[in-house]
Structure formats: C-alpha cells, structure tokens
Amino acid sequence: MKNKFKIFLIVILVLGILVSCQPIFKLVTGVKNPKVYVSNQDRIEYYNPWIENKEAAILIKTIENQKSFVSVFQALEEVSFPIFIIEDIQNKKSYTVNCYEDFDYTVELLDQKKLDKLKETQLPILKLVDSLSNNFITKETFNKSKTTKQDGYHIRIVHGTFLGKKLRKRISGVFNSLDPISSITILDLSIDEDSKND
C-alpha cells in the first residue's frame, strides 16, 4: 500500500511539473524528493521567513490523512502550484500568482503600488482552494487574538515544503511588499508526521 502511495505521489508531481509554466520547474526551484509526512518543527522552520515578525493572524494547515492527500493531489493535477492568492479586503478583489517566473514581476508591481495590474483570481481557482480546504486541518496558529482588519490583505497559499528554498525566497518578496497583511492561511501539501500511525 505504501509503495502504491509513493508511486501515486511521484506521478502527480511529475504531472504538476509538466503543466506548470516552467517545464524545468524542479531543477530551477531546487525541489527534491517530496516527503508525504513532515514534522511540525520542520514545517514551521520552512515557513518562518514568511511569518516571522508578522502581526497578521496566521494559520498553517496540513492535509488530514492519506485519503485526503490523494484527493488534494488529484484536484491539483491540472493546476500549477504553488497557488498564491492576494485578497484586497477593502476593494473586495483577489489576485493570483501561480507561476515561478511571475513572483519577481509581482514584487515589482507591488512596490510600484500597481496591484490592479496583477491577474484577477478566476472563480474556478477560488472554488478549488475553498474545496481543498475541506481536506486540511489546522496545525498551527499564530497571533490568534488578532482580528481581521477592514483593510489590507488576506493571503491564501497552497504550498509544500518540498517546493524548495529558492521558490520560498521568491515568494518572500511578495510578503515583504504587501502592507498591511491582515491574515495568512497556508495550506501545506503534507500530512503531519504525528498522524503517521493513525
């Protein structure tokens, strides 16, 4: 069963790479062999550059179990990831970045205060992320007492520690260019290591 699960994971990741905007995505981003199970410590360490010193309410969610893991990756078969959604709370608009090469351009636009030049999030992507959320459980919460502000930005991102440090660094530029960030929700594409024997 475990071998079948690993084979399924490899096939899905290869498909994800092929449909992404960069066929050499794995090489460029430094993606290595993905782990299905990731410890909470490793997860927090990986996402720390995005969440340290942030006053936003932050949620890190993980996939609930193997069955949910399969459902999530099947849903992502024809979508490039990571999926990065910036929701402009005041203007009630959302924008999506999901191509490796687009993150630097996004930072340029944000630095120039030209958020409206970004690609607006299509309804199917919003529905996809909403439906994916049903397969995740909250693993870590930061700044829980913070309430969502009436302005600023809510960030939703579907990502995985296996996507590597190079991509994490590119995405960090987006976090650093957005202000104020009201809340951050990370849907991490892994199962928590503590659930391994459940």
How many Cβ atoms from other residues are within 10 Å of residue 42's Cβ? 14
Residue numbers in the chain where pLDDT is lower than 50: 15, 17-30
Number of domains in the chain: 1
Element (H, E) at 38: strand 37-38
State residue 95's pLDDT score. 92
State residue 43's pLDDT score. 93
State residue 24's pLDDT score. 37
**Range(s) of the domain holding residue 131:** 2-195
Return the structure tokens found at 136: 């995740």
Least Cα distance to 89 among 155, 186, 159 occurs for 155
Residues 111, 114, 116, 120, CA torsion sign? negative
DSSP 8-state symbol, 149: P
Element (H, E) at 61: strand 57-63
Q: pTM for this one?
A: 0.82
